[in-house]
Amino acid sequence: MKVEKRRGLSPIIAELLLIAITVVIGSTFFFVGTQSIGGYANGFSLLFGKSANAAQEIYVVEYAQFSSAPTVTLTIRNVGYIEVQLASVNLFNASDVASLKPTSGTYTLTTAPAITVVSSTASPYCSTSGTTIVIPVASFCTISVPFNWSTGATYNVVVSTQRGNSQVVQEVA
């Protein structure tokens, strides 16, 4: 009777192959997981970074003067911790808000309005950059906005910034 030899992998080589395969698969999962978490972390840091800046941007509309038509003069003060970059100024009739209809008397800032002369000199407290008005920390800006208004009417003044903050103030002409 003839005995045949069976050839196979020794148990040591089999274990080494299993360990190598496990390390490769584990490394792949680890790499994919860290890339995914890194992407989420970057997204969260951008989100919270912008929110933190927006939270530090605090401004008030101190004064709205309905001077000789068609002009409204606004004084806006930066009381926050970072500079304010005004993106738009909207004026519209307060009665139109309840009806949710477009207003005929709306002004949107498409170009930076003229910075009003205060005390015989141009306001040194703010500047324009394209269609944006920049108000430094602890400063104010007086701007003239063209708008046809009627005496005794109530108007909403909406001042919005580049960071997405908006402030609505009701003023009576």
Pairwise CA distance, residues 119 & 85, whole Å: 24
Of residues 146, 65, 163, the one with CA closest to residue 111: 146
pLDDT at res. 22: 93
Pairwise CA distance, residues 135 & 58, whole Å: 11
Tell me how far the alpha carbon of residue 20 is from its chain's centroid: 50
Pick the CATH number of 59-172 from 1.10.10, 2.10.25, 2.60.40, 2.20.25: 2.60.40
Higher pLDDT, 6 or 20: 20
Summarize pLDDT for 149-163 with one digit per residue, the tens: 888 888 888 888 888
Q: What percent of the chain lies above the pLDDT cut of 90? A: 5
Q: Is the pLDDT of residue 34 over 50?
A: yes
Residues paired with 117 in a beta bridge? 122
Answering whether pTM is above 0.85, one says no
Beta-strand ranges (E) seen in the chain are: 59-66, 71-78, 84-93, 117-118, 121-122, 127-129, 132-135, 140-146, 154-161, 166-172
pLDDT at res. 42: 63
pLDDT band of 121, cuts 50, 70, 90: very low
Pairwise CA distance, residues 75 & 139, whole Å: 11
pLDDT, average across residues 34-47: 65
| Strand-by-strand arrangement of the 59-66 sheet | 59-66, 71-78, 140-146
